[in-house]
Chain A
Amino acid sequence: EVQLVESGGGLVQPGGSLRLSCAASGFTFSSYDMNWVRQAPGKGLEWVSYITSGSSTTFYADSVKGRFTISRDNAKDSLYLQMNSLRAEDTAVYYCARDGPTYRHWGQGALVTVSS
């Protein structure tokens, strides 16, 4: 069974940093592209970032470009999102999602709250 488990969320002050992790199991992680998708409280879905299976290509939404960095460690079956210079508008549940560009498998999400 495919499982994706996010961790690392929490409360951070504006301008701060946070690193999200997504632990994958139940499939060959190194064979799949991965993504981060977020959802602000009470709002819709927003694609954040994408990384290919071998990390050769990454894409970012304009709203996070230059502040967020997606990465992965295939030896550890893990996906990461390093978030710097956080803003109030980055407050959201962050989901990791497998595949692309349609997402068949999602994690349960990690809540990031940016507030002073």
Chain B
Amino acid sequence: EIVMTQSPATLSVSPGERVTLSCRASQSVSNNLAWYQQKPGQAPRLLIYGPSTRATGIPARFSGSGSGTEFTLTISSLQSEDFAVYYCQQYNNWPPITFGQGTRLEIK
């Protein structure tokens, strides 16, 4: 099973700042990496896959990069609605599909 590790666990940032979230795989997942956003009481929402293709309706301020074992999700200018938990997911070698433990973005 591929283990996905996200860092940091929590990030305190101010609106308007640029933020980078990291995700590391225990072995190569090639380009088969996705990012999800989850707000309290809601289902996750697919943001990015492949690992740099934005899903339908996702604003351009979200971007993804990386390959192999190291990936990043960047939000260029944080908006109030972006404060949430973000999960990475590998789908290169499945089953099982595996997710990272999440990074919580909170308002500084």
The distance in angstroms between the C-alpha atoms of A22 and B101, with both chains bound, is: 26
Which chain A residues lie closer than 8 Å to B55 at the CB level?
A: 104
Which chain B residues lie closer than 8 Å to A26 at the CB level?
A: none
Give the contacts of B2-32 with A (CB-CB under 8 A).
32
Confirm or deny: B43 has a beta carbon within 8 angstroms of a beta carbon on chain A: yes
Which chain A residues lie closer than 8 Å to B94 at the CB level?
A: 47, 59, 101
| Count of residues in A whose CB is under 8 Å from the partner chain | 20
The distance in angstroms between the C-alpha atoms of A47 and B4, with both chains bound, is: 13
Give the contacts of B68-104 with A (CB-CB under 8 A).
87, 89, 91, 94-102
B interface bracket (residues with beta carbon within 8 Å of A): 20 to 34
Instruction: Indicate if the CB atoms of A102 and B95 lie closer than 8 Å.
Output: no
Confirm or deny: A80 has a beta carbon within 8 angstroms of a beta carbon on chain B: no
The distance in angstroms between the C-alpha atoms of A61 and B96, with both chains bound, is: 6
Instruction: Indicate if the CB atoms of B43 and A60 lie closer than 8 Å.
Output: no
Cβ-defined partner of A101 (8 Å) among B38, B87, B91: B91
Give the contacts of A63-100 with B (CB-CB under 8 A).
95, 100
Give the contacts of B37-75 with A (CB-CB under 8 A).
38, 43-46, 49, 55-56
* B residues in contact (CB < 8 Å) with A: 32, 34, 36, 38, 43-46, 49, 55-56, 87, 89, 91, 94-102
